[in-house]
Amino acid sequence: MITFGDVVLMTRGDFEDKVVIVTGAGQGMGRAVSELLSSLGAVIVVNDIRNVAAENTADYIRSIGGQAEALQGDVNSATDVKRVVDFTVKRFGSVHVLVNSAGVLKPTAVESIGEEEWDFVVGVNLKGTFLFSKAVLPSMKESGWGRIVNFSSTAGKNVSTIGGAHYTAAKAGVLGFTRHLAKEVAGDGITVNAVCPGLIDTEMVRSTIDEEDIASYSDSFPVSRLGKPTEVANLVAFLASDRASYITGASLDINGGDLMI
């Protein structure tokens, strides 16, 4: 770490010795965050509900000289979450950073959303964020340092571009949870923040809308393209670093100017 007065500048090695759990890291933004933090020196615990996807990300990180462990688990299951966090603490000593990236989106209209689908979408996006955050707190408190970065969305502040009301409600819930937890744990050296991406070029978007819709949404944005997972990863890395030590309870927009508030 290099300092300039009180200011900490990011360098390769910034995350040296930091143990990072990234949920939903088998693809998309979770994977981009895992690769970036690994390149900055972190040990990455790659969680995904799909074992093969988690293994692929971990294999790739190891193939370029990083340290990663794949751990399958459903963020919506308290048993799975406990297993992942217990394993991490036992294997690596503690958890310094948690990135809650796992999410699911359904484009269903309210009148067609069944109870099961509501519980599924709200469960993965919101309850998963709660379960993982709760599970890492004892380790972070013991270290006296921690970073939790939650994935909300433009949907959390406005309405979802391509998802349904359950998605919008869950992402708004993530913002409330972020603020509340930030207040609870500020005295323990733990910051809790959220990122609110606009439309980012991942499988979540590509499997929901077609090329024509993507082109027309892109044209409507001031920066007339979709965002890249690596652009969001840069923001997450900043929030997860020492440089963001006075930012907590915040939600940072990254949407090419789609939403300006």
Ligand X SMILES: NC(=O)c1ccc[n+]([C@@H]2O[C@H](COP(=O)([O-])OP(=O)(O)OC[C@H]3O[C@@H](n4cnc5c(N)ncnc54)[C@H](O)[C@@H]3O)[C@@H](O)[C@H]2O)c1
Tell me the torsion sign for CA atoms 191, 197, 200, 203: positive
Phi/psi of residue 182, nearest 5 degrees: -55, -40
- Give bridge partners of residue 192 from the DSSP assignment: 148
Q: Does 75 bind ligand X (CB under 6 A)?
A: yes
Q: Which of 103, 164, 173, 256 binds ligand X (CB under 6 A)?
A: 103
Closest CB to ligand X among residues 142, 201:
201
Q: How far is the CB of 205 from ligand X (least distance, A)?
A: 5
Q: Which stretch binds ligand X (CB under 6 A): 38-46, 175-183, 195-203, 210-218?
A: 195-203
Q: Does 61 bind ligand X (CB under 6 A)?
A: no
Catalytic residue among 60, 167, 217, 246: 167
Phi/psi of residue 212, nearest 5 degrees: -65, -45
Q: Does 50 bind ligand X (CB under 6 A)?
A: yes
Q: Does 164 bind ligand X (CB under 6 A)?
A: no
**Site size for ligand X, by CB under 6 A?**
31
> Is 167 a known active-site residue?
yes
- Give bridge partners of residue 225 from the DSSP assignment: none
Q: Which of 35, 48, 69, 258 binds ligand X (CB under 6 A)?
A: 48
Closest CB to ligand X among residues 214, 244:
214
Write a three-state SS string for 185-247.
Answer: HHHHCEEEEEEEECCECCHHHHCCCCHHHHHHHHHHCCCCCCECHHHHHHHHHHHHCHHHCCC
Q: Does 29 bind ligand X (CB under 6 A)?
A: yes
Q: How far is the CB of 101 from ligand X (least distance, A)?
A: 5
User: How many residues in the chain?
Assistant: 261
SS3 content of the chain, % helix, strand, coil (to 5): 50, 20, 35
Helical spans, DSSP H, in 46-122 = 51-63, 78-92, 115-122
Near ligand X in 136-155, by CB under 6 A: 151, 153
State both tokens at 232.
Answer: 């969001």
Q: How far is the CB of 251 from ligand X (least distance, A)?
A: 12
What residues are labeled active site? 167
Residues that bind ligand X (CB under 6 A): 23-24, 26-30, 47-50, 53, 74-76, 101-105, 124, 128, 151, 153, 197, 199-200, 202-205
